Chain A
């Protein structure tokens, strides 16, 4: 019983960063119909900016600088990549965002002084609580709080504001969006800026969890965030949150329970990765539109 509760708590907290990054991926997909492979690097670039700013500035201010850099990167990618390629085939846009990600990582290695580990201190140090021998750090609680806050804000944005409606309209019918006087370009900037914000928050918080290297968010979270987004339905913001949390739970359960099976423990040292893959295949096979998705 203790083990079960600990596993659930761990799963929830380890799924939160996936969900936070997945929110950004879903937002861009919902608003621009683009698979944004640069979402992770909005995070790492923000983390690097915070790390550098922290040489001169206190950690909270440095974190804020990092988040602002994340927003700026989101806006920049919209202006110089997404907008010029708006009418290009989707696959070109997808490759372009992947190019942004690899370019950003190269820049971190080159201009950032090599691939070694760096540390950015957590915004709040220490453990928040311990459940059955599992310690949860304050920083993880912050990630969870950020997830709850942004999920709520995005929900309100899309369900209660005209601006949220306009963003959805722009993704469904760009021509008519211009014709009613909304202006699709501003909506596109808004979406990518918000994605930069979400990525930046993810990166700055994630960098405080453990020492990090160039490309850390892409490497550690992006694939899982994409799986979370797809599992959730790709266009559904609650789906992204649920997808991220489900992923965290699948990982923590397989790590705590499947490893007890001798065959598994001996042959599959990273069984939790395999479990994520099985989950993805199962969702794609049984419910290709995702748990909360409307379209395939």
Chain B
């Protein structure tokens, strides 16, 4: 049984449909990349999985349990956490305070929180240096690290990261993806939402979206040949 099963997901905003029956599965321990151009429906897919938006139809199952339409706090408690597009760190709070709030659903577990903070600082030493600095005063890359770190503080089983590399220099994007690899190796299942085909290098599974539907699903070695993917699906805009 897959950790995440999305079945015929339909969703949109107001009366404007965006997703027209999206189905895919992600196995426990994998890193999946959800690729697509602007407006393909990637963000809508993940926000409907984590409960920021309520799906119009279809099913989302996590670990065998139907979680369709649950609220974000309920899903965080179950172990599903989204690092949102645009980072959305708490600008006037410090790095440490941002991390603490990431652990809200397990705030009674002081030892666990301390261990998670240590882990995040290990992944992103830059955050340790800026521990007491206001999040809003940091660079975009540092805020991205903080947003991922804050997501990890919930000790998720499934971490969804929306546009981790957007606006980052290639070097910084590489650092972030390397940490994503480490997170995945520690046992967390990861879904990367990306326009950046380079993310395929870090993936076990590729899902390509176009106009609200999945047009390609692939696993293993076939997705390493990103040139073909690029030519077939992503270069047509």
Contacts and interface: CB of A to CB of B under 8 A. Distances in A.
The answer to whether A and B assemble together is yes
Interface of A: 162, 165-166, 168-169, 172-173, 175-183, 294
Given A165-B97, A166-B101, A179 B90 contact: no
Q: SS class of chain A's interface: helix, strand, loop or mixed?
A: helix
Interface string B68-79: 000111001100
A178 B104 CA distance: 10
Given A162-B104, A180-B104, A181-B104, A172 B92 contact: yes
B88 A173 contact: yes
A166 B93 contact: no
A209 to B, nearest CB: 37
B174 to A, nearest CB: 25
A166 B103 CA distance: 11
Contacts, number: 68
B76 A168 contact: no
Nearest to B87: A176
B84 interface: yes
Contact of B76 (A162, A172, A180, A294): A180
Contact of A176 (B77, B89, B154): B89
A163 to B, nearest CB: 9
A123 B150 CA distance: 49
A175 B100 contact: no
B101 A180 contact: yes
A181 B102 CA distance: 8
Given A168-B90, A173-B88, A179 B104 contact: no
A254 to B, nearest CB: 36
B90 A169 contact: yes
B197 interface: no
B82 interface: yes
B133 interface: no
Contacts of A169: 90, 93, 101
B3 interface: no
Nearest to A178: B72
Centre residue among A165, A168, A181 by max chain B CB count within 10 A: A181
A162 B98 CA distance: 11
B91 interface: yes
Given A168-B92, A173-B89, A179 B100 contact: no
B93 A168 contact: yes
Of residues A166, A175, A176, A179, which shows the largest number of chain B Cβ atoms within 10 Å of its Cβ? A179
Contact of A181 (B52, B76, B89, B92): B76
Contacts of B89: 173, 176
Contact of B84 (A168, A172, A175): A175
A176 B90 CA distance: 8
Interface string B93-115: 10001001110110100000000
A28 B81 CA distance: 29
Given A162-B104, A162-B107, A179 B93 contact: no
Given A162-B107, A168-B90, A173-B91, A179 B101 contact: no
Contact of B71 (A173, A176, A183): A183
Nearest to A162: B107
B91 to A, nearest CB: 6
A178 to B, nearest CB: 4
A175 B101 contact: no
Contact of B90 (A173, A178, A183, A294): A173
Nearest to B77: A181
Contacts of B76: 179-181
B84 A179 contact: yes
Contacts of A183: 71, 73
A182 B50 CA distance: 14
A182 B101 contact: yes
